[in-house]
Amino acid sequence: MAKRAQLLRFFTVRTGSSADAEDIVQEIFLRLGRVESGTVENAGAYLYKLGSNILLDRIRTRRRSEAREGAFVDVHSTSTPDGPASDDPSPEAAWAANKRLARVMAVVEAFPPQRRRVFTLHKLDGLSYADVSARLGVSKSAVEKHMIAALRQLAELADDG
Protein backbone atom coordinates (compact mmCIF):
# COMPACT_ATOMS: atom_id res chain seq x y z
CA MET A 1 0.00 0.00 0.00
CA ALA A 2 2.95 2.33 0.51
CA LYS A 3 3.60 2.34 -3.23
CA ARG A 4 -0.02 3.09 -4.17
CA ALA A 5 0.39 6.86 -4.60
CA GLN A 6 3.58 6.41 -6.63
CA LEU A 7 1.93 3.81 -8.85
CA LEU A 8 -1.06 6.09 -9.39
CA ARG A 9 1.19 8.97 -10.48
CA PHE A 10 3.24 6.66 -12.72
CA PHE A 11 0.21 5.20 -14.53
CA THR A 12 -1.70 8.51 -14.68
CA VAL A 13 1.19 9.94 -16.68
CA ARG A 14 1.26 6.92 -19.00
CA THR A 15 -2.49 6.66 -19.56
CA GLY A 16 -3.44 10.32 -19.37
CA SER A 17 -6.37 9.33 -17.16
CA SER A 18 -6.51 9.14 -13.39
CA ALA A 19 -9.49 6.77 -13.65
CA ASP A 20 -7.54 4.36 -15.89
CA ALA A 21 -4.55 4.59 -13.56
CA GLU A 22 -6.80 3.81 -10.61
CA ASP A 23 -8.14 0.74 -12.44
CA ILE A 24 -4.62 -0.48 -13.22
CA VAL A 25 -3.42 -0.02 -9.65
CA GLN A 26 -6.51 -1.82 -8.37
CA GLU A 27 -5.81 -4.71 -10.75
CA ILE A 28 -2.16 -4.80 -9.63
CA PHE A 29 -3.24 -5.32 -6.03
CA LEU A 30 -5.83 -7.92 -7.04
CA ARG A 31 -3.17 -9.89 -8.89
CA LEU A 32 -0.78 -9.54 -5.97
CA GLY A 33 -3.23 -11.51 -3.90
CA ARG A 34 -2.67 -14.48 -6.22
CA VAL A 35 1.15 -14.41 -6.01
CA GLU A 36 2.75 -16.85 -3.60
CA SER A 37 4.55 -15.05 -0.80
CA GLY A 38 8.31 -15.09 -0.97
CA THR A 39 8.53 -15.62 -4.75
CA VAL A 40 9.17 -11.95 -5.63
CA GLU A 41 12.72 -10.69 -5.11
CA ASN A 42 12.26 -6.96 -5.90
CA ALA A 43 8.72 -5.99 -4.92
CA GLY A 44 8.90 -2.41 -6.28
CA ALA A 45 10.11 -3.48 -9.71
CA TYR A 46 7.56 -6.28 -9.75
CA LEU A 47 4.69 -3.82 -9.13
CA TYR A 48 5.76 -1.54 -11.98
CA LYS A 49 6.34 -4.48 -14.33
CA LEU A 50 2.97 -6.00 -13.45
CA GLY A 51 1.24 -2.66 -13.99
CA SER A 52 3.01 -2.14 -17.31
CA ASN A 53 1.86 -5.58 -18.45
CA ILE A 54 -1.71 -4.75 -17.43
CA LEU A 55 -1.49 -1.48 -19.37
CA LEU A 56 -0.17 -3.29 -22.46
CA ASP A 57 -2.97 -5.86 -22.21
CA ARG A 58 -5.52 -3.06 -22.09
CA ILE A 59 -3.97 -1.34 -25.12
CA ARG A 60 -3.95 -4.61 -27.10
CA THR A 61 -7.55 -5.33 -26.12
CA ARG A 62 -8.64 -1.84 -27.18
CA ARG A 63 -6.82 -2.14 -30.53
CA ARG A 64 -8.38 -5.54 -31.24
CA SER A 65 -11.79 -4.16 -30.36
CA GLU A 66 -11.30 -1.13 -32.63
CA ALA A 67 -10.10 -3.38 -35.46
CA ARG A 68 -13.11 -5.65 -34.99
CA GLU A 69 -15.49 -2.70 -34.99
CA GLY A 70 -13.79 -1.23 -38.06
CA ALA A 71 -14.09 -4.54 -39.89
CA PHE A 72 -17.76 -4.74 -38.95
CA VAL A 73 -18.40 -1.23 -40.27
CA ASP A 74 -16.51 -2.02 -43.47
CA VAL A 75 -18.58 -5.13 -44.09
CA HIS A 76 -21.93 -3.59 -43.17
CA SER A 77 -21.64 -0.17 -44.79
CA THR A 78 -22.15 0.96 -48.33
CA SER A 79 -19.45 2.91 -50.10
CA THR A 80 -19.58 5.30 -53.00
CA PRO A 81 -16.68 6.57 -55.12
CA ASP A 82 -16.69 9.69 -52.93
CA GLY A 83 -16.42 7.72 -49.66
CA PRO A 84 -18.76 5.99 -47.25
CA ALA A 85 -22.46 6.34 -47.95
CA SER A 86 -24.63 8.02 -45.36
CA ASP A 87 -27.26 6.14 -43.39
CA ASP A 88 -29.50 9.19 -43.74
CA PRO A 89 -32.50 8.77 -46.01
CA SER A 90 -32.34 10.24 -49.47
CA PRO A 91 -33.87 13.69 -49.92
CA GLU A 92 -36.76 12.08 -51.80
CA ALA A 93 -37.41 9.58 -49.00
CA ALA A 94 -37.22 12.33 -46.38
CA TRP A 95 -39.66 14.48 -48.36
CA ALA A 96 -42.09 11.54 -48.74
CA ALA A 97 -41.86 10.76 -45.01
CA ASN A 98 -42.54 14.39 -44.11
CA LYS A 99 -45.52 14.41 -46.47
CA ARG A 100 -46.92 11.21 -44.87
CA LEU A 101 -46.39 12.68 -41.41
CA ALA A 102 -48.23 15.87 -42.39
CA ARG A 103 -51.17 13.78 -43.65
CA VAL A 104 -51.26 11.75 -40.43
CA MET A 105 -51.09 14.87 -38.28
CA ALA A 106 -53.90 16.48 -40.31
CA VAL A 107 -56.09 13.43 -39.59
CA VAL A 108 -55.15 13.56 -35.89
CA GLU A 109 -55.98 17.29 -35.76
CA ALA A 110 -59.38 16.50 -37.30
CA PHE A 111 -60.22 13.98 -34.54
CA PRO A 112 -62.91 15.01 -32.08
CA PRO A 113 -61.21 16.73 -29.11
CA GLN A 114 -61.49 13.82 -26.64
CA ARG A 115 -60.24 11.29 -29.20
CA ARG A 116 -57.30 13.58 -30.04
CA ARG A 117 -56.41 13.90 -26.35
CA VAL A 118 -56.61 10.12 -25.84
CA PHE A 119 -54.53 9.43 -28.97
CA THR A 120 -51.92 12.05 -28.08
CA LEU A 121 -51.53 10.88 -24.50
CA HIS A 122 -51.27 7.22 -25.46
CA LYS A 123 -49.32 7.24 -28.73
CA LEU A 124 -47.25 10.41 -28.50
CA ASP A 125 -46.73 10.76 -24.73
CA GLY A 126 -46.51 7.00 -24.16
CA LEU A 127 -49.06 6.70 -21.38
CA SER A 128 -50.84 3.39 -20.81
CA TYR A 129 -54.61 3.12 -21.25
CA ALA A 130 -54.97 3.10 -17.45
CA ASP A 131 -52.88 6.27 -17.12
CA VAL A 132 -54.83 8.02 -19.90
CA SER A 133 -58.07 6.95 -18.21
CA ALA A 134 -56.94 8.39 -14.88
CA ARG A 135 -55.61 11.60 -16.42
CA LEU A 136 -58.79 12.33 -18.40
CA GLY A 137 -61.25 11.00 -15.83
CA VAL A 138 -62.84 8.50 -18.21
CA SER A 139 -63.14 4.73 -18.10
CA LYS A 140 -60.47 2.49 -19.55
CA SER A 141 -63.14 1.16 -21.91
CA ALA A 142 -63.74 4.69 -23.23
CA VAL A 143 -60.00 5.08 -23.84
CA GLU A 144 -59.97 1.77 -25.74
CA LYS A 145 -62.95 2.85 -27.89
CA HIS A 146 -61.34 6.19 -28.72
CA MET A 147 -58.09 4.44 -29.68
CA ILE A 148 -59.93 1.91 -31.87
CA ALA A 149 -61.71 4.73 -33.68
CA ALA A 150 -58.50 6.74 -34.06
CA LEU A 151 -56.55 3.77 -35.43
CA ARG A 152 -59.37 2.96 -37.87
CA GLN A 153 -59.24 6.52 -39.23
CA LEU A 154 -55.47 6.31 -39.60
CA ALA A 155 -55.75 2.90 -41.27
CA GLU A 156 -58.14 4.42 -43.83
CA LEU A 157 -55.49 7.03 -44.55
CA ALA A 158 -52.94 4.27 -45.13
CA ASP A 159 -55.35 2.45 -47.45
CA ASP A 160 -55.91 5.64 -49.47
CA GLY A 161 -52.34 6.14 -50.32
Per-residue pLDDT of the chain (161 residues), as tens digits, is 678 999 999 999 999 999 999 999 999 989 888 877 777 788 888 889 999 999 999 999 999 999 888 888 777 766 666 666 666 778 898 899 999 999 989 999 999 999 999 999 999 899 999 999 999 999 999 999 999 999 999 888 877 65
Q: What is the spatial distance between Cα 140 and Cα 117, in angstroms, rounded to a whole number? A: 14
Give the chain's domains with CATH numbers: 4-76 (no CATH), 100-160 (1.10.10.10)
What's the confidence (pLDDT) of residue 79?
Answer: 66
Considering the entire predicted model, what is its pTM? 0.46
Would the CA dihedral through 143, 147, 148, 149 be positive or negative?
Answer: positive
What's the confidence (pLDDT) of residue 80?
Answer: 67
How would DSSP label each residue in 97-151? HHHHHHHHHHHHHHS-HHHHHHHIIIIIS---HHHHHHHHT--HHHHHHHHHHHH
